A = this chain, B = another copy of it.
Amino acid sequence: MLTYSEENYLKTIFHLSQGQKHGISTNAIAAKIETKASSVTDMIKKLNEKKLIKYQKYQGVTLTSEGLMAAKMIVRKHRLWEVFLVEKLNFNWDEVHDVAEELEHIKSEKLINKLDAFLGYPTEDPHGDPIPDSKGDMKMINKQLLSELPIKKTAICIGVKDSSSDFLQYLDKQKISLGSKIEILEIEPFDQSYRIKINDYEITVTKKIVNNLFVKTN
């Protein structure tokens, strides 16, 4: 049985491992979890002892297959609860993350599987992130950053890289949501600002925005 804290470490290591070749550093974990490197070292030893991660002093850590599965189950819970909050309780997509941070630690396999069924087995959370199924499988979504999309090619907004409340509220304000049709009209060389078309109207946004929106071309 994992503690609340152990679960958070596993989840964090999982997220930091995405598209990462080498082990995850102590400092990276400390920064993400907002704790001190020495605390991370302590916890790392415990997780290593429990065979949830592979760890060699000074070399960073990677999840074992057991640790990976545990992490995926936490992510599964987090994202399913987010779907519940948005779809059933009418939360806005920028309000759900913190509550899901708590709900993800509720320990009942039966609960999460029944919740999954109740929600209709969703494959993505409200921010476009994939939801692992009960076996840990998640369909990898073919996505690219808007900033990598060629000019004048239309695409569909399917996710956000940064899912902070600030960014999500900005998107609401600009009427950008998952499913919006997006096209880059031109890039201003002087300040790297982007003139983009959302559905049927045009706005100008900064580079930071296009670097945090995922799109897919159909």
Q: Which residues of A contact B (CB under 8 A)?
A: 85, 88-91, 95, 98-99, 102-103, 106-108, 110-111, 114-115, 118
Contacts and interface: CB of A to CB of B under 8 A. Distances in A.
17 contacts: A85-B111, A88-B118, A89-B111, A89-B114, A89-B115, A89-B118, A90-B114, A91-B110, A91-B114, A95-B110, A98-B108, A99-B106, A99-B108, A99-B111, A102-B106, A102-B107, A102-B108
A168 B94 CA distance: 41
Nearest to A118: B89
Contacts of A88: 118
A97 to B, nearest CB: 12
Nearest to A102: B106
Given A90-B114, A99-B108, A102-B107, 10 more contacts: A89-B111, A89-B114, A89-B115, A89-B118, A91-B114, A98-B108, A99-B106, A99-B111, A102-B108, A103-B106
